[in-house]
Amino acid sequence: MSDAPATTAVTVDLGERAYNIVIGAGLITRAGDYLDEVAPTRRVVIVTDENVASHWLEKLETSLTRAKYQMLTRILTPGEQTKSLNQIDALTDWMLESGVDRKTTVIALGGGVIGDLAGFAAAITLRGLPFVQIPTTLLAQVDSSVGGKTAVDTRHGKNLIGAFYQPRLVLADTDTLNTLPARQVAAGYAEVVKYGLINDLGFFEWCEANGRAILDSDPVATRHAVEMSCRAKAAIVAEDEKESDKRALLNLGHTFGHAFEAEAGFGDFLLHGEGIAFGILCAFELSCRLELCSGQETERVRSHFFEVGLPTSLNGIAKRHWTPDVILGHMSKDKKTEGGNLTFILARGIGQAYIDRNVPIDTLRELLWDILPA
């Protein structure tokens, strides 16, 4: 890996709508050059948040100015609460008031919240504007910026109103990860290790050996993790863009995790990646109770999560009012539910995930009783 090129391009092969994920250091300072390949005009809208803007907005604007782009910039409040219908209404109203047209490119500069919000705004404004992702968190670089899922949260649950809308380009500048708090890096790492747990035992083994290096900001390990994750997701999205089948495997841990996030209030109390990490452990524990995989494999996953600082229990997270019925209520509103049946991604072993829509409710309820605080 020490001989890796300065940048790597991973293609999401969707025919005429194919696009590249460019991975490397220093990409924001060269964004104008990359944008020339996909933007139909020299007019762009940048959507970002206060935290990201303080580190990266000036660098992006400098690059775009050098390439003679005209820019409109919207800086939002950071945090999951920004991913709302109220913010979509305000953002699209501002874009229309500013005079965007169908050839104005929307650039999402930020993490998953900004990518989801700006992408959804691009999807619905004037029935579709060109869209570019510049993800600045590990979670966004390895997962949410790739594949075209855009959405906002509602009081009923996470990501329930949105659209499949593919970007024209993803610029994953690994330099941005150096400005992240350690907790955010760890939360993003949950989505990295997920790919190994789904269908790549070898990658999980690599994560066991290199996970700590990623959390310590080792550039070689981080670059490899981003590239491998993007290749894994790109392959699945190319095969099943709108989640009619195989793409659902990417939701390993999400049926549990989204329910935990909803009950925690979609805030900093429980980050998305933290909820997904414990959700993955729940999926493996449920698989073990259904005699699909061994207890040793479940403990192997738990041990790795503990080593890298991801949640291995709900201690300090769940409150006493968290009951199985409360969590099941959130699960029932999950967008993956079909015909009243909950959809889970379970595992026959590490690297052997599969889709299950027939989980016995009694077994699920017993698991929830065991993991929730007394």
Q: Which residues are catalytic?
A: 127, 149, 191, 233, 243, 247, 251, 254, 258, 272
Contacts of 311 (CB under 8 A, 6+ apart): 274, 277, 278, 305, 317
Contact 361, 299 (CB under 8 A): no
Burial (CB count <10 Å: 0-12, 13-18, 19+), residue 216 = exposed
Contact 346, 354 (CB under 8 A): yes
Contact 47, 117 (CB under 8 A): yes
Residue 124 identity: I
Instruction: Count CB atoms within 10 A of the CB of residue 181.
Output: 9
Distance between CA atoms of residues 281 and 304, nearest Å: 11
Residues written for the chain: 374
- Choose among 143, 20, 157: nearest CA to 80: 157
Contact 39, 130 (CB under 8 A): yes
Contact 118, 56 (CB under 8 A): no
Q: Pairing relation of β-strands 344-347 and 149-154?
A: unpaired
